[in-house]
Amino acid sequence: MNLSRRSFINQASAIGLGFLGLRSVIENGLAQGAASSFAEVGYGPLLPDPDKILDLPSGFTYRMISLVGERMDDGLYVPGKHDGMAAFPGPNGETILVRNHELEPAQVEFSPFGLQNLLFRQVDQRKLYDPGKGTKPALGGTTTIVYDTRTGDVLKHFLSLAGTHRNCAGGPTPWNSWITCEETVEVTGGDIEKDHGYNFEVPASTEIHLADPLPLIAMGRFRHEAVAVDPQTGIVYETEDRPDGLIYRFLPNQPGRLQAGGRLQALRVRNAPGLDTRNWRRQTFRVGGVRKVDWVDLDDITSPDDDLRYQGRFEKGAARFARGEGMWYGHRSIYFACTNGGEKQKGQIWRYVPSRFEGTSREKNRPGTLELFIEPNDANLVENADNLTVAPWGDLIVCEDGTETQLILGVTPQGRIYKIGGTNISELAGATFSPDGTTLFVNIQTPGWTLAIKGPWRQQRG
């Protein structure tokens, strides 16, 4: 029997393998008839949106709160290519959204400086990381939205970091800032004035201003994707968007002050140097499998030849991952997606549980552990998981970056998958909840729209 992609997900929610330590359905003897072994979960089927923007379940609505090309409060324009994003508490119950823009200098049609960058000179040039010699400025960076979830009003809207390249994802910090990541390793030359491939920190602020464009050099130079900060230790974990990338850990000299430097390390699976976790040719890491890990120090972290991952793998025995992308902290764990992992390259989701003694000498005897949660190998289940977050009630919320309908999916603590939204426009990105838990914000990357979704979040079925 042929099932449509949506109806298959609706019936096969049991394929959420391993969430919060749950082992695979097959290992528990539930392989036969798995689709009918569990009650339907989530919020029901997605209903067609008359405006053909975002399909949602019954009882849910969305509001378009930011569109590419709109004029902002600083006189500039909303840039395009919305990507990673996080929400922070603001004054008087307001929500502060800090949002990435995955733009390159040539994409002038999405520029914050308007047609032909005519407003470029109105910006304080000292606040631009790479002005591109005044002729081809770097157009990536971040914008900030101050939003009232009670009224649905945008209170402020402004450019908050400028002059960077391809700001893809990032992650929030416990001290109310956003770490934005450059997904590029371009070097100085031609119109490019500075090396790229760094992280930058943007305060979550309601004040209209540009953050100081200071690269976090000690966190490494590579094709960054996302980060997650453990609030218990201040340690920062990082993904690398390469088919043979590493998972990194940054041990800050002063937790909460990333500019003060620190040590960059890569994840190594204990007793398996250079382990290929991608499972492309053979299964080296089974679903539900848990392995102890070590962390190895890296040298020459600015990596002028873009070879940091080779150093980690061939010289230090670090594990190899298939395009590390979204990453988030929750349940005292670090969750991250590898978009091209698995035999069919349809994606994996992993969970790293830090040691009780993370980053200390005692960690050797009580190491952290790595678990493979999901590797569906079927686009009918999850297709190329990308950005992800943890919902206020504990479920994992995942954005797809696949080839068909792009879905926002939820995964319950029991490992069941359900649908939250879907679009046929372009990649979904930046899913994040407001601090009050009422609103899920998400981006439709191209051309660049931000939506605020409301609904009966606590009334899940099953």
Tens of pLDDT along the chain (462 residues)? 333 333 333 333 333 344 444 333 333 332 222 333 334 789 999 999 999 999 999 999 999 999 999 999 999 999 999 999 999 999 999 999 999 999 999 999 999 999 889 999 999 999 999 999 999 999 999 999 999 999 999 999 999 999 999 999 999 999 999 999 999 999 999 999 999 999 999 999 999 999 999 999 999 999 999 999 999 999 999 999 999 999 999 999 999 999 999 999 999 999 999 999 999 999 999 999 999 999 999 999 999 999 999 999 999 999 999 999 999 999 899 999 999 999 999 999 999 999 999 999 999 999 999 999 888 887 877 888 899 999 999 999 999 988 889 999 998 777 788 999 999 999 999 999 999 999 999 999 999 999 999 999 988 876
Determine the Cα–Cα distance for residues 427 and 407; give it in Å rounded to an integer: 9
Determine the Cα–Cα distance for residues 429 and 387; give it in Å rounded to an integer: 6
The amino acid sitting at 155 is L
Determine the Cα–Cα distance for residues 109 and 45; give it in Å rounded to an integer: 37
pLDDT of residue 232: 96
Give the Cβ contact number of residue 49 at 10 Å.
Answer: 14
**Would you state the torsion angle of the CA atoms of residues 9, 12, 17, 19, taken in this order, to the nearest 10 degrees?**
70
Identify the residue whose tokens are 């649905």: 152
Q: Are strands 396-400 and 406-411 parallel, antiparallel or unpaired?
A: antiparallel
Tokens representing residue 39 in the block? 């009650």
Residues β-bridged to residue 61 = 454
* CA nearest to 442, candidates 458, 425, 461, 421: 421
CA 15 to mean position of chain CA atoms: 22
pLDDT of residue 207: 98
pLDDT of residue 158: 98
Mean pLDDT across the chain, nearest whole number? 90
pLDDT of residue 373: 87
pLDDT of residue 366: 97
Torsions phi, psi for 385 (to 5 deg): -60, 140
